[in-house]
Amino acid sequence: MTTTSSAPGKVYLFGEHAVVYGEPAVPCAIERRARVTVTARDDDRVRVSADDLSLDGFTVEYGSGSDEQPDVDVPTPLIEAAMGYVEESLEQARDAADRPEAGFDVEIESEIPLGAGLGSSAAVVVAGIDAATRELGVELTPEDVAERAYRVEHEVQDGQASRADTFCSAMGGAVRVEGDDCRAIDAPDLPFVVGYDGASHDTGELVAGGR
């Protein structure tokens, strides 16, 4: 069986970065999405194909039950961080399904530029957790997906993450986040024009540098 899930990126209407300090923020979902397709394997290995996650794309395969590390032949911290998001998402799926040795083939497609501040990592994490848990026969609520996705970003970003990006990506629409208080809010459909200069940045590093 194969399972596909998608999740949206986001823009902030108010409170970007301040949300890291527990201040209120209002992000909203955008039309660009990440799609993750997961197929359970008969062994404990993981194969990740991410043709659209960077300019060149990459495919890696490694063992999930050993100290073997992904051999990523792309010399950028962003790709290494991307693999961290994917692996931690799969760990959350294994935990939710009580299948610690589960292996997966994972294909990632994304319309969201990597490292552009549009929530690409949150969208991949949310879609990845949802697809992998459903592939293992477990249905999570959007709130459960958001909670597990936050744990992933918190781990990968060394404790610097807020709940805003992952909650918004899991719930869709507009949300209000203040610390652990997360809720959906009513908002009209709004037209946005987002300028992107093609540059990519490491979100965790930038957040840590702004503290």
| Mean pLDDT, the chain cut into blocks of 10 residues (211 residues total) | 95 84 90 95 89 55 53 53 86 96 92 81 95 97 97 86 92 93 87 69 52 50
Q: How far apart are CA 81 and CA 83, in angstroms?
A: 5
| CA distances in angstroms from 113 to 4, 38, 43, 52, 118, listed in the order given | 20, 21, 32, 9, 7
Helix, strand and coil percent figures for the chain, each rounded to 5: 35, 25, 40
Per-residue pLDDT, 119? 87
From the list 166, 85, 155, 163, the residue with the least C-alpha distance to 123 is: 166
Indicate which residue of 52, 165, 180, 202 is catalytic. Answer: 165
165 in catalytic set: yes
Per-residue pLDDT, 112? 85
pTM for this entry: 0.82
Amino acid residing at 104: F
**Which residue ranges form the domains of the chain, and what is each CATH number?**
2-189 (3.30.230.10)
